[in-house]
Amino acid sequence: MLAAIAFYCFAAVTVASAVMVISARNPVHSVLFLILAFFNAAGLFVLIGAEFIAMILVVVYVGAVAVLFLFVVMMLDIGFSQLREGFMQYLPIGGLIGLILFIELIMVAGSWLLLPKMENVRAFPSPPTEQLTNTHAIGEILYTNYIYIFQGAGLVLLVAMIGAIVLTLRTREGIKKQNISEQVSRRPEDSVELHDVQTGSGV
**CATH code for the domain in which residue 25 is found:** 1.20.120.1200
Total count of domains within the chain: 2
Q: How far is CA 122 from CA 113, 141, 145, in A?
A: 16, 18, 18
Q: What is the DSSP letter of 25?
A: S
DSSP helix/strand/coil, 36:
helix
198 in any annotated domain: no
pLDDT, residue 121, reads 47
In total, the chain counts a number of residues equal to 203
Q: How far apart are CA 190 and CA 116, in angstroms?
A: 86
195 in any annotated domain: no
Q: Where does a domain end: 78, 99, 118?
A: 78
22 in any annotated domain: yes
**138: domain range?**
130-170
Radius of gyration of the chain (CA): 28
203 in any annotated domain: no
* Per-position pLDDT tens, the chain of length 203: 777 888 888 889 899 988 888 888 777 788 888 888 888 888 888 888 888 888 888 888 877 777 777 777 666 655 656 556 666 776 787 778 778 877 866 776 666 565 555 445 444 455 555 567 777 888 888 888 888 888 888 899 899 888 878 777 766 677 777 778 888 888 877 778 877 777 777 65
pLDDT, residue 203, reads 57
Residue 62 CA to its chain's centroid (Å) = 8
28 in any annotated domain: yes
Q: How far apart are CA 114 and CA 23, in angstroms?
A: 34
Q: How far apart are CA 109 and CA 103, in angstroms?
A: 10
**Is 135 found in the same domain as 74?**
no
85 in any annotated domain: no
**Is 69 found in the same domain as 8?**
yes
24 in any annotated domain: yes
Tell me phi and psi for residue 144, to 5 degrees. Answer: -125, -65
Q: How far apart are CA 41 and CA 57, in angstroms?
A: 8
